[in-house]
Chains A and B, each alone.
Chain A
Amino acid sequence: MIKVDNVSKHFGGVKAVDGVSFDVADQENLILLGTSGCGKTTTLKMINRLIEPTSGAIYIDGKNIIEQPPETLRRGIGYVLQNNGLFPHYTVAQNIAVVPNLLKWDKPKTEKRTAELMEKLHLDASYLDVYPNELSGGQQQRIGLARALVSDPPVLLMDEPFGALDNVTRSKIHAEFKALDELKRKTIIMVTHDVQEAFELGDRICLMNKGKIVQSGTPAQLLFNPVNDFVKDFLKHQRLQLEFKAIKLADLWGLLPELNKEAKASSFNAGSNLWETLESFKFNNGETVNISKDQNESKAVSFEQLMSAFYQYKNHQAHE
């Protein structure tokens, strides 16, 4: 879907981005992770041509992005900024309608789509006539997301979209983010320097340092097969939590005992990570949770069974 091919960007003597290459598959969620100043934002902005690369090429759907006018390119790519970048002189409704107006949608179509998004993002319709400065940070960020999603672009670029939010609000938005069906269909490149966020939201992660990609792969690959000490050190804090997030239930499937599912317990898809499954025990009184795979297979497992499967899995990884 998106191919970044040996792209560099130099600002004077500073090699902000230095020979970066990666691919993003259709509907994949790629995270650009790294310390401050390592070139994440610069990389991201080259994809919608807010910055032109010094060398290298970028392709979307096999087409070099310099082949179309930047305005046209950008109208097909959603962009969410850290400080949301909402127009302070426009109401919420007008803010969301910016791209539809550029695309010359008629009014009813825009209104219908706006209403739909407001509902999906859990925003009351009464906010439509309000100005952004009258909203909370979390609400503004949701509007920023709605604005980027309104024309349903296939690609979404997000630069630390949740960076300005407090932890509680952020994990709430993370949950909504993962649940939002609109986003499941999209190819997303998201920049963050928050490792936990990267592990929670990313299908794959590109870990960057000083303008170069140090390692790219799934969270589990980075965690259990780091290419060097930099990667290992980068993931050292709260490692257990990262491991829970990196391991999917599907990874543990073979290690879980066969038990019939229970009617009352909450259910998880095998694609869920271990972290959210374990978290659910905190809130549910049930002894077990149901895990379903490929629609017909399912298992009921307890907290202890999950943890034991987890340790077996880790042992296995260590000996590989």
Chain B
Amino acid sequence: MNEQQQTLWQFMQQQSGKLQEQTLQHIGLTFISLCIAVLVGLPLGILIVRRKQLAGLVLGIAGVLQTIPSIALLGFMIPLLGIGPKPAIVALLLYALLPIIRNTYTGILGVDAAVKEAAVAMGMSKWQILFKVELPLAMPVIFAGIRTATVINVGVATLASLIAAGGLGEFIFGGISLNNTNMILAGAIPSALLAVIFDLLLSMVQKISFKRLKRVLYAFPVLLILLCLFYILPAKSESKLIAGFTPEFMGRQDGDLGLRSKYGLKIHTIVISDAVMYKAAFEKHLDVISGYSTDGRLKAYDLVVLDDDKHIFPPYYAAPIVRDDVLKKFPDLEPTLNQLAGKINDSVMTVLNYRTDYLHQSPERVAKDFLVANKLWRAERGGSDGVVRIGSKIFGEQYILANMYSMLIKGYTDHDVSTKTGLGGTKICFDALTNNQIDFYPEYTGTGLLAILQASPKTVNEVTVNRDSTYNYVQRQFESKYQIKWLKPIGFNNAYALMMRQQQAKQLGIKTISNLKRFLDKK
């Protein structure tokens, strides 16, 4: 425990520059969007007090906006606003609107009718009543709304890192992908602290008596703007090309770190979620991305893989990994799963992925078509001899594989199947496996080596010379460390790769990562 804390502290010290930058970005994102939300929400709230027939509509829309899952909302923003801070701020703003509009509305409506009537009867105009009576008296309620919006925004802002807007989410999502608890905590603890601190500060403002309210009302906007500057000030540097890497890629030896150390690649990089990266490259928001060599979107968006001429990306052969006790419990499971071994090569997998990711066919259908075409499909036996729990990570290829395995088990054995697809990342999936939440899931040799076993650079160098040595190494290590067995590889190699738009790569004459480096180094 003590050691754990020590290392977290060390991690934070070591990364203090990044931590500070991310924290400031986080505060900036939260408050820029909050500022705009107040500027939009307050007048809207006032408007619907005056025109009550609009109230239902406005509150309804703001309410619906808030029920959209945050990651989906961020996704919707990309075609409209691209990637980076703009869509993130707009998405946050939309989340913050409801509490601000609603509280402005209820706050003003809640002002004592006798007080309002007195104001009218004394001959105050509509605007005088608004600014001298209604708004001051509604202020505590409005502040409560701003407070709620702030806390929501601090939370949702962690997701901004997924569309290259920075913030503490970079650590959190990087940490989840890399199975690095310290990294997760280095992002999660400060963002939780921010939420608590802002909530506390605003609750104090809310309780301030009328006497001092005026002064606070002047100070508040100034403070807001100062906080916004945190984000605007650290301006972006210019670079010829812009790279978008996933949080996972950023922290890996066989990712950004390797690119820097082995190739000496220096490129302006932003952190972005895998879900939007390809499209952003296609739409020219990004030039170089870190993708997977079998990804269907490679085909869909006309991207090319740059040749890894210095071999920094280790092989990522996929194979199901199963806990030993499961194999003992279901002896017929291993031969059933191994039916898929060697059946799917890179180009087959890319096409399958293309069908789900781009043509939006259901993974189930794609899986069934494949099995039928390869004469592996059999009708369900409707067995009830225990349940095998299949896990998968949160991307199309894993869904397809999980579906294939599910069909095989139902067709060839008497076991029933439950699937837990869409487990966030390697860490979540692997923890689910070791904690007996699932029985197996498809994993990649490279991920096992680097993210789970966290092998030293020396070991990595030694074992990644070819696909078999990597596979053998992780198989041995998993068996002894976790009592988990790697079954036979499925065949394809879903390795990391750098990719660019085909047209741009051709135009600039870039075929390999070394080409890319040379191009960037040219003045």
Contact = CB atoms under 8 A, between A and B. Distances in A.
Interface of A: 48, 50, 70-75, 77, 79, 81-90, 98-99, 102, 131, 147
Given A71-B124, A74-B123, A89-B210, A83 B133 contact: no
Closest 6 CB pairs of A and B: A85-B118, A75-B123, A74-B123, A79-B121, A85-B114, A89-B210
Contacts of A102: 122-124, 128
A274 to B, nearest CB: 36
Nearest to A74: B123
B136 A75 contact: no
Contact of A74 (B112, B122, B137, B213): B122
19 contacts: A48-B121, A71-B123, A74-B120, A75-B122, A77-B121, A79-B118, A81-B121, A85-B118, A86-B115, A86-B118, A87-B115, A87-B119, A88-B210, A89-B136, A89-B137, A89-B210, A90-B210, A99-B123, A147-B122
B125 interface: yes
A50 B35 CA distance: 37
B117 interface: yes
A88 B137 contact: yes
Given A81-B114, A85-B114, A89-B210, A50 B121 contact: yes
Contacts of A50: 117, 120-121
Contacts of A86: 115, 118
Contact of B114 (A48, A72, A83, A89): A83
B207 to A, nearest CB: 14
Interface centre among A72, A75, A88, A90, by most chain B C-beta atoms within 10 angstroms, is A88
Contacts of B121: 48, 50, 74, 77, 79, 81, 85
Interface string B397-431: 00000000000000000000000000000000000
Contacts of B114: 81-85
A285 to B, nearest CB: 46
Nearest to A75: B123
Interface in B211-241: 213
A73 B124 CA distance: 11
Nearest to B137: A89
Contacts of B128: 102
A239 B119 CA distance: 40
Nearest to A76: B123
B120 A81 contact: no
Contacts of A90: 210
Contacts of B213: 89
A6 B206 CA distance: 51
A85 B121 CA distance: 10
B interface: dominant SS: helix
Contacts of B123: 70-75, 99, 102
Interface of B: 112, 114-115, 117-125, 128, 133, 136-137, 210, 213
A49 to B, nearest CB: 9
Contact of A85 (B117, B124, B210): B117
A89 B119 CA distance: 13
Contacts of A81: 114, 117-118, 121
B417 to A, nearest CB: 65
A141 to B, nearest CB: 13
Given A50-B117, A85-B115, A86-B115, A131 B210 contact: yes
A62 B115 CA distance: 31
A88 B118 CA distance: 12
Given A85-B114, A89-B136, A79 B122 contact: yes
Contacts of A99: 122-123
Contacts of A147: 122
Of residues A73, A89, A131, which shows the largest number of chain B Cβ atoms within 10 Å of its Cβ?
A89
A75 B115 CA distance: 16
A162 to B, nearest CB: 15
A71 B117 CA distance: 13
A86 B118 CA distance: 7
Contacts of A75: 122-123
A88 B125 CA distance: 19
Given A48-B121, A89-B137, A89-B210, 7 more contacts: A72-B123, A83-B114, A87-B137, A88-B137, A89-B136, A102-B124, A147-B122
A202 B136 CA distance: 39
Most chain A CB inside 10 Å of its own CB: which residue of B114, B121, B210: B121
B122 A98 contact: yes
B180 to A, nearest CB: 52
A95 to B, nearest CB: 9
A13 B162 CA distance: 60
A131 B137 CA distance: 14
Contacts of B120: 50, 74
A310 B136 CA distance: 57
Nearest to B210: A89
Contacts of A84: 114, 118
Contacts of A82: 114
Nearest to B111: A88
Contacts of A77: 121
A74 B117 CA distance: 12
A131 B211 CA distance: 9
Nearest to A147: B122
A128 B523 CA distance: 74
B125 A71 contact: yes
A86 to B, nearest CB: 7
A65 to B, nearest CB: 13
Contacts of B137: 87-89
Contacts of B118: 79, 81, 84-87
Contacts of B119: 85, 87, 98
A86 B119 CA distance: 9
Nearest to B214: A89
Nearest to B128: A102
A87 B117 contact: no
Nearest to A73: B123
Contact of B115 (A70, A72, A74, A88): A88
Nearest to A95: B118
Contacts of B133: 87
